[in-house]
Structure 1
Amino acid sequence: DIRPPPSPEIYGRAVAEAVRRMKRGDFSKVVLARTLELRSSRDLDLPALLQRLARRDPSGYTFAVPSGPGRTLLGASPELLVSRRGGRLVANPLAGSTPRSADLAEDVRRAAALLESAKDLHEHAVVVDAVREALAPYCRTLDVPTRPTLVRTATMWHLSTTVVGEPADPAVSALELACALHPTPAVCGTPTDTARRVIGELEPFDRGAYTGMVGWGDASGDGEWVVTIRCAEAEERTLRLFAGAGVVEQSSPEAETAETGAKFQTFLQAVGVDQ
């Protein structure tokens, strides 16, 4: 049994309202999300679900953590927020996406089109600039490529930039760096405070741990933190899926609704649901 709160129509209207406000000059980007609630007639087999997620996206970051009494947050995130190992830090912001295709020629065409999409390149540049600005005060050196590359998951192509730096203070931990970065425009928007307020007005649900961060850190300050996207919260026989899309002035309700639908496929395919 699948229920979509909010419905695609309500989500589309929220995207249209955000675009209207951006054209008025209120802000430049906001990430709007929606959910799907899946209810099963049987108890959920979380270890088996986690294994399927890991097999489908072996290069991603598969996780399961307690999120409340009787609740588990699990997912397969493609996005590294930041890692630190010794004197090297790495951040890998993703922004700008398009669904994969089962047809090889069409899949290649979509990837090539994403690399040339003015709308997606702008969305990606906003995120990369924010990452550079957040990390620069902590770094002796910071290498930020001028153009993005592509990364793929089982269901999506993403524009990707790998930012590499050397911490100025060897005592700064991966968690401190992650807190300085969060939330990036890839999950919130820009300006951050305005985008967060718009999300509160236009999203009719509480995100909870969705678009937060999950990871690990050790006593020496090394660690790895990823963005909690491509995730769901499990409670008894219910799975609540989350998916969001970056909305900019050039966005359309139809395209962003389709993008969130494609992102749901990570979990829908893992549980064997066709939609």
Structure 2
Amino acid sequence: MIATTEQLVQEYIKDAIECAKNENQPKLVSLVKKVRPIDPLIFYANGHDQFYKERFFWKDPNSYYTFVGLGYAHTICTNAAKERYFHIENEWKRFIKEDFYKNNQIFPDGTGPLLFGGFSFDPNQYRENYWSDFPSSKFMIPTVLYTQVDKEGYLTVNMMVKGQDSVKKHINYFEEVQKLVLCEEYDGESHISPLLLEKEEIGVEKFKGNVERATTLIKQQAIEKVVLARQLKVKFNEDISTEYVLQRLLKEQPTSYTYILEGEHQHFIGASPERLVQKQGDYVFSTCLAGSIPRGKTRQEDHELGEELLQDPKNLIEHDVVVHMIKEAMNSYCYEVEIPSTPSLYKTKHIQHLYTPVKGRIKEDVTLFSFIQKLHPTPALGGYPQQEALPIIRQLESFDRGWYAAPLGWMDINGNGEFIVGIRSAVIHQKEAVLFAGCGIVADSTPESEYEETRIKFNPMLSALGGIMRGTH
């Protein structure tokens, strides 16, 4: 509901409390108010004292949708590997049907009881401690949500009400939360770049050996492509400020999706250029992003590198595998699919990629989670064929990818939403961060070239984390 008057808000809360009393169970009340737009980073920072470790941030490359969530009014999660997508979807549907007091209200796009979260890359991988806050599947409905849709601002407050509650208690909380929107005192520029004490590339020789083993399997026709990743660990002289890192990502990676999800002990943050799937009414959109080359130091060099990428056989093969798989998946769930015949270039600050957008008109009863289950992991993140590539990744990689390269995103009450893949990312724990980067291995791949590609892909997060090594410039 759009909270236009205090009387409307009071009546809505009163009715919800009465419903909770009659059904003898709590009900989620969602109050939405149109507000003057505020810098989303300021809103995120203003929630630090009250909601630290229960915040999320999301901005798409076009700045059409920006979400900042503070507090978790309701959480849906599972560590199960089997049917995890449908477990989340079914629990979400059950919650909306049984626990949410809707009262036939219509919510503007991206407001109300928004569901935000994600999945791990591979629930069958062994778990490591630095992913303890990020299980197989985890989604939250925020207590407070700031939504910016096409430059319009909305504030959502989601509250669980009980039959014995007073209306005044919830009215007071709604009014208190609104002060977060009005306060613009945060100065993000006041953060000082932390000092980088240590930088460790983990398992470099093992990674290069894995590339050789993978190309052997491909030449033996066991698979067509496999994506291999590696890690970089950094340590600073003080706890890493997520506000500071977000600020830098927003400034340095404007053509990417910027995101963070905080946990009790770890925070997952990044700037991904790659959409997995977006649903808007009867249409879905996906992205084929595979094949990469560095940006040039001059406009001319940048253009020449881009043209080289567009003509490079190895990268074109890698990209075509992704296009083929995503097209097949879309065809199975859509009446019609639109896809360009040749790729174009997608440029971020440090890297340029081969890019092919995909659009489809979906069949009835096909949901956003259905597409996630069908698409993940795409050949750009796992390999092809999918079921043959995953066991090879488990065998060759000696670490837990966690939510790296996995689906992360949001869905509203109408079933619309968007999921990306969590690349160009890091998991933060106090003064330390573990960064992840991967590359697609095909028959012509070489260990040195793939190693160099991952070094480039570390740069967005390294730059955003800031800091310099002692004694260096």
The reply on whether 1:99 has 2:301 as its aligned counterpart is no
Identify the match of residue 25 of structure 1 among 221, 238, 262. 221
* Partner Cα distance (2:231, 2:288) in 1: 23
Q: Which residue of 1 aligns with 2:374?
A: 180
Q: Which residue of 1 aligns with 2:316?
A: 121
Bigger mean CA offset, 92-101 vs 238-247 = 92-101
Correspondences of 1:47-196 after superposition (within 5 Å): 47-66=243-262, 68-169=263-364, 171-196=365-390
Q: Aligned-pair distance for 1:219? A: 1.6
Compared CA separation, residues 97 and 137, structure 1 to 2 (3 A)? same
Q: Which amino acid aligns with 2:202?
A: P
Identify the match of residue 212 of structure 1 among 386, 393, 406. 406
Q: Aligned-pair distance for 1:253? A: 0.7
Q: Which amino acid aligns with 2:437?
A: A
Q: Which residue of 2 aligns with 1:238?
A: 432
Identify the match of residue 231 of structure 2 among 22, 35, 47. 35
Q: Aligned-pair distance for 1:214? A: 0.7
Q: Which residue of 1 aligns with 2:84?
A: none
Answer 1 or 2: higher relative contact order, Cα 8 Å, separation at least 6: 1
Q: Aligned-pair distance for 1:27? A: 0.9
* Partner Cα distance (1:89, 1:242) in 2: 28
User: Matched residue of 1:184: which SS?
Assistant: coil
Alignment RMSD (CA, Å)? 1.3
* Partner Cα distance (2:371, 2:215) in 1: 32
* Partner Cα distance (1:98, 1:274) in 2: 25
Q: Which amino acid aligns with 1:135?
A: M
Q: Deviations over 1:33-53 (max 9, x none)?
A: 001000111011111101111
TM-score, normalization: structure 2? 0.56
Q: Aligned-pair distance for 1:26? A: 1.3
Q: Aligned-pair distance for 1:81? A: 0.5
Q: Which amino acid aligns with 1:99?
A: P
Aligned 8 A contact 1:23 1:249 in 2:
yes
Compared CA separation, residues 150 and 21, structure 1 to 2 (3 A)? same
* Partner Cα distance (1:272, 1:210) in 2: 20
Q: Which amino acid aligns with 1:271?
A: L
Q: Which amino acid aligns with 1:236?
A: Q
Q: Deviations over 1:132-178 (max 9, x none)?
A: 11111211111111111110111101001110111121x42223212
Compared CA separation, residues 96 and 271, structure 1 to 2 (3 A)? same
Compared CA separation, residues 117 and 273, structure 1 to 2 (3 A)? farther
Q: Aligned-pair distance for 1:16? A: 1.0
Q: Aligned-pair distance for 1:270? A: 1.3
User: Matched residue of 1:161: which SS?
Assistant: strand
List alignment gaps of at least 5 residues for structure 2: 1-197
Q: Deviations over 1:181-213 (max 9, x none)?
A: 111010000111221111111111110111111
Q: Aligned-pair distance for 1:89? A: 1.1
User: Matched residue of 1:93: which SS?
Assistant: strand
Q: Which residue of 2 aligns with 1:10?
A: 206
* Partner Cα distance (1:164, 1:75) in 2: 25
* Partner Cα distance (2:288, 2:420) in 1: 10
* Partner Cα distance (1:25, 1:88) in 2: 36
* Partner Cα distance (1:162, 1:52) in 2: 27
* Partner Cα distance (2:394, 2:282) in 1: 38
Q: Which amino acid aligns with 1:92?
A: T
Aligned 8 A contact 1:209 1:228 in 2:
yes
Compared CA separation, residues 274 and 150, structure 1 to 2 (3 A)? farther
Aligned 8 A contact 1:175 1:225 in 2:
no
* Partner Cα distance (1:274, 1:83) in 2: 38
User: Matched residue of 1:165: which SS?
Assistant: strand
Aligned 8 A contact 1:175 1:223 in 2:
no
Matched residues, number: 272
Q: Which amino acid aligns with 1:6?
A: G
* Partner Cα distance (2:302, 2:468) in 1: 20
Q: Aligned-pair distance for 1:72? A: 0.7
Q: Which amino acid aligns with 2:323?
A: V
List alignment gaps of at least 5 residues for structure 1: none
Identity of aligned residues (%): 38
Aligned 8 A contact 1:88 1:165 in 2:
yes
TM-score, normalization: structure 1? 0.95
Q: Which amino acid aligns with 1:20?
A: T
Q: Aligned-pair distance for 1:257? A: 0.4
Aligned 8 A contact 1:84 1:222 in 2:
yes
